[in-house]
Structure 1
Amino acid sequence: MSSAHKNLSIFKTENLPDISWKKFVVIVAEWNDDITEPLAQGAIDTLVKYGAKESNVLKVYVPGSFELSYGSQVYAQKADIDAVIAIGCVIQGETKHNDYINHAVAGGLTEVSLKYNKPVIFGVLTPNTHQQALDRAGGIHGNKGDEAAITAIKMLGLA
């Protein structure tokens, strides 16, 4: 279902694992920061709401979405980090740059997750327009950051 028909901030929360002792890092792309900051805050607020200690949630910046894979790897390899949430936004625009960036980031984050055997969550918006991004960063379609945090929590429950 597309997010145009779903609120990203509404999800099932039954049987969530205890995350009170888990450590998270939220890696945030600085590019499109009017979008990525609300996404990151949504992720942090959701983690805390569902039991994470604020002191166990680290927020780190990378220049853009392309750098999320490396930034995620730096933290995923740390034994004391339980999950990584990568936050970014690549807007379609007039060129095909988004196709290359989004594909590289998705593959890179998957690779990091599998390499370090821990959740590395794709919290990257891939909208066609700036307005669509705003709508998914706390606007009419909720906040993709909320969804990314819940995904991290649920994935920790698999172990």
Structure 2
Amino acid sequence: MATSLKNLSQHTQENVTDISDKKFALVVAEWNDEITSSLYSGAIETLLRYGAKKENIYRKNVPGSFELTLGAQWLAKLDEIDAVICLGCVIQGETRHFDFICDAVANGITQVGLKYDKPVIFGVLTPDNQQQALDRAGGKHGNKGDEAAITAIKMLGF
């Protein structure tokens, strides 16, 4: 469904599991901090709303979205971590750099989840411009951080 037709923060309650004893690691890119900070806030609010304990939520920052994969791997290999949520934002520019970064990050995050057999969630915005990013980080299209957190919760209930 086209984003223009859907608020990303609207979701069903299906497959929502008890997460009161689950531990979450959030890996947050520092690049595009205005956006990633908002994504982080959305994710935290959702985790807490669904029963996660504040002391069971860990945040680690990485320089940019490209580094999310290695940060996620370092956290996913820890037995005590139940799910990893990766939050970043790569805005289209004038060069193909955008394509290489987005492809590497998407594939890398997928591989980390498969390697460690636990939810590793892709909460990375890939907008054409700053306004589209703002619209998806708490603006008119909701908050992708919220969506990433509910995805982690639902995957833990799979």
TM-score, normalised with respect to structure 2: 0.98
Distance between the aligned counterparts of 2:59 and 2:2, measured in 1? 28
Q: Tell me which residue corresponds to 1:151.
A: 151
Deviation >4 Å, runs of 4+: none
- Give runs of aligned pairs for residues 85-124 of structure 1, distance below 5 A: 85-124=85-124
- Give runs of aligned pairs for residues 20-31 of structure 1, distance below 5 A: 20-31=20-31
SS in structure 2 of the partner of residue 42 of structure 1 = helix
Distance between the aligned counterparts of 2:150 and 2:98, measured in 1? 26
SS in structure 2 of the partner of residue 111 of structure 1 = helix
* Aligned-residue offset at 1:9: 0.9
Distance between the aligned counterparts of 1:2 and 1:102, measured in 2? 19
* Aligned-residue offset at 1:13: 1.5
- Give runs of aligned pairs for residues 1-159 of structure 1, distance below 5 A: 1-158=1-158
Distance between the aligned counterparts of 1:15 and 1:148, measured in 2? 14
Distance between the aligned counterparts of 1:7 and 1:108, measured in 2? 27
| Root mean square deviation, CA, Å | 0.7
Sequence identity percentage: 65
Q: Which consecutive residues of structure 2, in runs of 5 or more, have no partner in the other structure?
A: none
Q: C-alpha deviations, 1:88-146, integer Å up to 9, x for none?
A: 00000211111000100000001000000000000000000100000000000000000
Distance between the aligned counterparts of 1:14 and 1:44, measured in 2? 20
Amino acid at match of 1:34: E
Q: Which consecutive residues of structure 1, in runs of 5 or more, have no partner in the other structure?
A: none
TM-score, normalised with respect to structure 1: 0.97
Distance between the aligned counterparts of 2:3 and 2:28, measured in 1? 21
Q: C-alpha deviations, 1:2-40, integer Å up to 9, x for none?
A: 222210111001341100000001100000000000001
Distance between the aligned counterparts of 2:94 and 2:15, measured in 1? 44
State how many pairs are aligned: 158
Distance between the aligned counterparts of 2:123 and 2:14, measured in 1? 22
